[in-house]
Structure 1
């Protein structure tokens, strides 16, 4: 049974580092969440380290710029690990070939900018589907369109035996009051159609390996038993933490606000029913990060 807490400070002394999700926890896709920012600032003031672990397909530098526009101050975190960075490293190692068909929002071409962390990177070229050796999906072209619009192209890709690299395993996010589809929804559809999808964000191990490396680069050697993962996605943040044997704090007022009847705090019965349905067992739960 997940223990419901009212403040991060109730439990934070047990942990030397936090792996914190961004969307739905620290910002809502439009603006920073002030109570969450204050909680992280207070945690850092006590000596704790904050690693922002996000399924954003953007490189770390791109997420830093985005945080500025949302009003998230840089004194509320120490370092960032993105799904995009993890996926880009794999792409430049040639995991889906050199000629790739890109699916994504306009402007996400920065995903294909060269990186200096892969030795002897392959020469990635974006090509039409009929010429591709693999697929790179950073997100849907239209985040409001049902993922099924991709079925005809995915059928052709599957018949050609193309692997799909998914740079963001999230299924949906809430941008303010608007729910949008993410790359994970397309990767899920492709897999359901019989294609092969490769994932590099939460809940899959590569992004946690990256987060640990980023934490270690801060000059601290922190065991998993002293790390707390925080997030609003039971299928990503909490499932990933459980898979890594890391304690977790579930933010019930994010993606599952309706199911958990969260206003300021979750309804205990609704929370229990939701977690049982999703077969999830976060160590702690709170309505909103504060």
Structure 2
């Protein structure tokens, strides 16, 4: 596999691309505040005719996610649209046009973030409080960044005993929160899978979520679209599967393996080594999203 090219800012390669699919957590913000320089990058891309779609494995709906970004200070005029795995999941549950959604029952046990009910609002579902009564699990979030996997074991063990289907609308295993890595819904879903429960993941690296992004970048050839993210397993692999170039941000979920003071040649070598395990080496590596 070829080694990625290290860049210090996106301006070094912006003339090669017209469309951008940009991850959020770990790239744009830490869950609480935008990182310095992010809006400058977006302004520069827009000034050059670039189109920007924000992509997140957040289990929340797109409108909720957009409102949170506005609260952080993001100018919505800088982006062309946003896609969240929660939104794609909501649409699939509403339409029930294809498996596994067409085969799901209506009784749902919901795991959500901070009591967010927008993820099921407007859907023909009966929410149950006892997992023993559920037709399926909907795993969209964890209800506190202080929770551990052990806190969810009683739920997944009872569900796995019945092998009811689970839909996970956020495949992330960890999420960067205020300078540390917290439990994410994908870890709960993975544990359920280990216990024998069937899981359908919606989100990166699944092709379904990239189709939603590409629809918002209609008219731009795939070889002129750059996906930017901090997860080798999700962002880089998902981009590769979708036929897109990728730029890996080293200061996100892999930051403990890629210290900020790592010399550039060693950074490139280590990224290549880590990425080879996922079968998807990024085209570019950048320490953080800067122009």
TM-score (normalised: structure 1): 0.90
Checking the alignment, whether the CA contact within 8 Å between 2:109 and 2:131 is kept in structure 1 is yes
1:65-84 superposed Cα distances (whole Å, 9 cap, x missing partner): 10011122223311101111
More relative contact order in 1 or in 2 (CA 8 Å, sep 6+)? 2
Give the whole-Å Cα distance in 2 for the aligned partners of 1:223 and 1:269: 30
Q: Does 1:271 align with 2:257?
A: no
CA–CA distance in structure 2, aligned partners of residues 107 and 134 of structure 1: 18
- Counterpart CA distance in 1 for 2:118 and 2:40 is 31
**1:286 matched to which residue of 2?**
286
Per-residue CA distance 1:108-141 (angstroms, 9 max, x = gap): 1111112xxxxxxx62111131211101111123
Question: Equivalent residue for 1:45?
Answer: 47
Q: Secondary structure of the equivalent of 1:249?
A: strand
Partners of 2:24 and 2:143 lie apart in 1 by 22
Q: Is the 8 A contact 1:41 1:75 kept in 2?
A: no
How many Å separate the matches in 2 of 1:130 and 1:231? 38
Distance 1:279 1:45 in 2: 35
Corresponding position: 1:112 with 2:120: yes
Q: Do structure 1's residue 60 and structure 2's residue 39 form an aligned pair?
A: no
- The 3-state SS of whatever aligns with 1:34 is coil
- Which SS does the other structure have where 1:268 is aligned? helix
Structure 1 range deviating more: 252-261 or 11-20: 252-261
What does residue range 94-173 of structure 1 map to in structure 2 within 5 Å? 94=96, 95=101, 96-114=104-122, 123-127=124-128, 128-173=130-175
* Alpha-carbon distance in structure 1 between the residues aligned to 2:189 and 2:270: 30
RMSD over aligned Cα, in angstroms?
1.8
> Counterparts of 2:94 and 2:221 in 1: how far apart (Å)?
30
CA contact (8 A) 2:114 2:142 kept: no
Aligned CA distance change for structure 1 residues 106 and 254 (closer, same or farther; 3 Å): closer
Q: Which runs of 5+ in 1 are unaligned?
A: 115-121
- Counterpart of 1:174 (choices 168, 176, 183) is 176
**Per-residue displacement from partner, 1:227-265 (whole Å, max 9, x unpaired)?**
100000111111101111210000011111221222497
Q: What does the per-residue CA deviation read over 1:9-41, in whole Å, with 9 as the maximum and x for residues that have no partner?
A: 111111110000011111121111121221111
Deviation at 1:146, TM superposition (A): 2.1
Structure 1 residues 76 and 143, CA, compared in 2 at 3 Å: closer, same or farther?
A: same
TM-score when scaled to structure 2? Answer: 0.90
8 Å CA contact retained: 1:81, 1:214: no
Q: Is the 8 A contact 1:165 1:197 kept in 2?
A: yes
* Counterpart contact for 1:21–1:231, Cα < 8 Å: yes
Give the match's secondary structure for 2:118.
helix
The aligned residue for residue 259 of structure 1 is: 257
Query: What is the aligned partner in structure 2 of residue 186 from structure 1?
Result: 188
- The 2-side partners of 1:258 and 1:4 are apart by 18
How many residue pairs end up in the alignment? 279
Distance 1:70 1:44 in 2: 20
> What's the CA shift for 1:269?
3.8
Q: CA deviation at 1:167?
A: 1.2
Q: Distance in 2 between matches of 1:61 and 1:285?
A: 30
- 1:157 CA displacement: 1.1
Q: Distance between the aligned counterparts of 2:238 and 2:146, measured in 1?
A: 26
Q: Deviations over 1:194-219 (max 9, x none)?
A: 11111111111111111112233xxx
CA distance in 2, matches of 1:203, 1:165: 15
Contact 1:17 1:50 in 2 (8 A): yes
Aligned counterparts of 2:276 and 2:109: Cα–Cα separation in 1: 39
- Check 1:91–1:263 CA distance in 2 against 1; reply closer, same or farther (3 A cut): farther
